[in-house]
Amino acid sequence: MNSKTTLDLDKKRAYDINLNALINFEEATGKSLMKMKKGDEFSLKDIRALLWAGLNEFEEISLEEAGSLVNIHNIEEVSKEIMKVYENAIPESKGSERAKNKSRPVG
């Protein structure tokens, strides 16, 4: 389970979704990432808040400053990267499809 990565934005920036980031996201959006499921829709505000929450662990940055690092040219790549980190950081429930597939033998 890896919650850290480096995002290539205006410069290389460290990114981490730890407990503080989860709480910051929840306070900014009113949504709990722990209650969201794989495949749930994320709005642009959610993506910006998730980006901000993970970046804010390393340097103080506002929501608006985090949002200004994403544009039409990089939004798809940045969204994929932060969602990959999010999916790796959030523990799976025992009944989830991903958990079932991990315990299933291959072949």
DSSP 8-state assignment for residue 2? -
Segment 4-61, tens digit of pLDDT:
889 999 999 999 999 999 999 999 999 998 888 767 788 999 999 999 999 988 889 9
Residue with tokens 């033998």, as numbered in its chain: 105
Q: 8 and 82 in contact (C-beta within 8 Å)?
A: no
Residue-range definition of the domain harbouring residue 23: 4-103
Cα gap 54→19, rounded to integer Å? 10
- What's the predicted TM-score (pTM) here? 0.78
Please give the average per-residue pLDDT across 78-84, as a whole number: 89
Q: In the chain, how many domains are there?
A: 1
Q: Is the dihedral of CA 89, 4, 24, 71 positive or negative?
A: negative
